[in-house]
Amino acid sequence: MEVKKGLLYTKDHEWVQELSDTIVRIGITDFAQDQLGDVVYVELPEKGMEVSKGEPFTVVESVKAASDVFSPVSGTITDVNEQLEDSPELLNELPYSEGWIIEVEIDEFSLLKLMSAEEYENYLKEV
Amino acid sequence: MSMHTPLYKKHLDLGAKMIEFFGYEMPLQYSGIMTEHKCVRSLAGVFDLSHMGEILIGGEGASKFLNYMTTNNVKNLKTGKVQYNLLTNESGGIIDDILIYRLPEAYYLVVNAANKDKDYQWLLEHVTDNAYVKDLSGETALIAVQGPYALKVTEKVLGQSVGHIKYYNFADVNYRGEKIRVSRTGYTGEDGFEIYHSPQLAGVLWDDIFAAGEPDQIKPIGLGARDTLRLEMRMPLYGNELTEETTPIQAGLSRVIDFEKGDFIGREHILKAKEAGTKQRLVGFELMEKGISRHGYEITDQKKKIGYVTSGSISPSTGKSIGLGYVNNEYAKTGAVIYIQIRKKQIPAKIVKGRFVEISRKTK
């Protein structure tokens, strides 16, 4: 299971990439996509929507089930990955790059309490 | 505590993702539901179904007893043939949907894993003096081979021809010193066989099948694809479409009820349901916008609830979002538009007739 260096992680298996001081990109981890199985639909949120840390912001559906994805940060969605509309399988194939889900302009202190890649790797050993 | 089939270790070695399924730890998927599903439709796939139940019913009163317990007529069943049948309760609700094999001297019932203890107890409670009920589940393993290459692979494994066994027929054949039961049945819509044998033989048979099927790239198939395969064929699943609260009439299974054969448990209620009509009927539907319906979701007419979804998924063969559900009679018309409540949205769906995917049960 790949854990990409340089990203921040949550216990719910989402990743956060800092694009600038205020903008982050969010997706699900390799572990999460493997647990889900074949992703066939992503219910994308809309730009401008507010997200709150720990609250679901989208639903990812695999053949077998629908799963909430929880926001690792609080803020406002500035971009969504429209490619997922027609190619939801990107979440399985390239979870850390082409399979990103949203970009968010984050509130202050939003990145506190997220795990580093090393911490997430250790966390995966426990689950 | 969870139970294991004789092939448990094989599944782990293959890297299967395991799930708890009515007390059994079973493979949900190996290579992925989509890949496995397509493999069964285009080549062939192999299923471990050893968790299912097998019950033997014999004695001189066996056929009379079984006819009282089930909706279909077992007296019409000739030796070597298989019949789809239902166990129903006093109110006409479905206790289980089962297969009945006619042996020369007895009947062999194959029942759902989820219901096997319940079925066995139910049969024991009602068994007559001149019949007996024996649970063979513990001494039976079951492997299914399904898909266009199933015949070729099965014949190669058994070293003999089985092509003469017709659909819904079976034969007992010798294999590695044991008599095994080879049945031309399945839950995928494809041509194929279900092979009943002893637990001791399961590992060898499993390996033989993969050795024989290797040139044709056959794969092991988990319960995930088993579900999407049966759903595309619109085959009901116990616990979803069929429950103790639904009658065979509601479920559209009139073809497996014989009202003329004499009394059977639930007959009165089922006949009443047939004559008076039922409030709801089982329909198949295709979503007209993106989204996936799931078991338990509400069906509406945009204003009020008119039914509920029993099964839903993406069809791996067509990419369409398909489902089954019960809706009030006045809405149960082919071509009618109903709405599936998916979280906060109501997604329109069109009621369709028949199977979701046309296949020709082609054999290569």
Number of neighbouring beta carbons within 10 Å of residue B33:
29
Q: Which token pair is B39?
A: 């493999």
Q: pLDDT digits over B301-360, tens only?
A: 999 999 999 999 999 999 999 999 999 999 999 999 999 999 999 999 999 999 999 987
Please classify residue B259 by burial: count the beta carbons closer than 10 Å to its beta carbon, then call 0-12 exposed, 13-18 middle and 19+ buried: middle
Answer yes or no: do B309 and B339 share one domain: yes
Interface ipTM: 0.84
Asked whether residue B241 is domain-assigned, the answer is no
Asked whether residue B219 is domain-assigned, the answer is yes
Q: What are phi and psi of B172, to 5 degrees?
A: -95, 125
CB B115 within 8 A of CB B123: no
pLDDT at B170: 98
**Of A83, A91, A44, A94, nearest to A63 (Cα)?**
A91
pLDDT at B2: 87
- Picking from B232, B262, B288, the residue at the C-terminal end of a domain is B232
- Picking from B123, B148, B178, the residue at the C-terminal end of a domain is B123
Range of the domain at B113: 53-123
Residues of chain B with pLDDT under 50: none
Residue B12 bridge partners (DSSP): none
With a CB cutoff of 8 Å and minimum separation 6, the contacts of B207 are none
Q: pLDDT digits over A13-39, tens only?
A: 999 999 999 999 999 999 999 999 999
**Of B247, B227, B267, B271, nearest to B326 (Cα)?**
B247
> Over pLDDT 90: what percentage of chain A?
91
Q: Nearest C-alpha of chain B: how many angstroms from A108?
A: 30
Asked whether residue B58 is domain-assigned, the answer is yes
Asked whether residue B237 is domain-assigned, the answer is no
pLDDT at A17: 97
Which of chain B's residues have a Cβ under 8 Å away from the Cβ of A41? 290-292, 314, 321
Confidence of residue A111 (pLDDT cuts 50, 70, 90): confident
Domain ranges of chain A: 8-108
Interstrand relation of B219-220 and B45-48 (parallel, antiparallel or unpaired): parallel
> B149-186 burial string, b = 16+ CB within 10 Å, else e?
bbbbbbebbbeeebeebeeebbeebebeeeebbbbbbb
Q: pLDDT digits over A63-98, tens only?
A: 988 999 999 999 999 999 999 999 999 999 999 999
Strands (E), chain A: 8-9, 14-18, 23-28, 39-43, 50-51, 56-62, 66-70, 75-80, 102-106
Answer yes or no: do B151 and B215 share one domain: yes
Which of chain A's residues have a Cβ under 8 Å away from the Cβ of B17? 37
Answer yes or no: do B116 and B191 share one domain: no
| Chain A 59-78, residues with CB within 8 Å of chain B CB atoms | 59, 61-66
Strands (E), chain B: 17-21, 24-29, 45-48, 53-58, 82-88, 94-102, 106-111, 132-135, 141-146, 170-175, 178-183, 192-197, 219-220, 280-287, 298-300, 305-314, 321-328, 337-342, 345-352
Q: What is the pTM of this model?
A: 0.94
CB B181 within 8 A of CB B201: no
Domain count of the fold of chain B:
3
Task: Using a CB–CB cutoff of 8 Å, tell me whether A56 touches chain B.
Answer: no
pLDDT at B129: 97
Asked whether residue B238 is domain-assigned, the answer is no
Answer yes or no: do B206 and B160 share one domain: yes
Measuring CA to CA, how many Å separate B277 from each of B228, B280, B330, B335?
A: 30, 9, 11, 21
Q: Which fold has domain A8-108?
A: OB fold (Dihydrolipoamide Acetyltransferase, E2P) (2.40.50)
**Residue contact B33–A37, C-beta within 8 A:** yes
pLDDT at A112: 85
Which of chain B's residues have a Cβ under 8 Å away from the Cβ of A62? 33
The CATH number for B105's domain is 3.30.70.1400
Asked whether residue B204 is domain-assigned, the answer is yes
Task: Using a CB–CB cutoff of 8 Å, tell me whether A94 touches chain B.
Answer: no
Q: Which amino acid is at B186?
A: G
More confident residue, B81 or A1: B81
Answer yes or no: do B214 and B74 share one domain: no
Asked whether residue B251 is domain-assigned, the answer is no
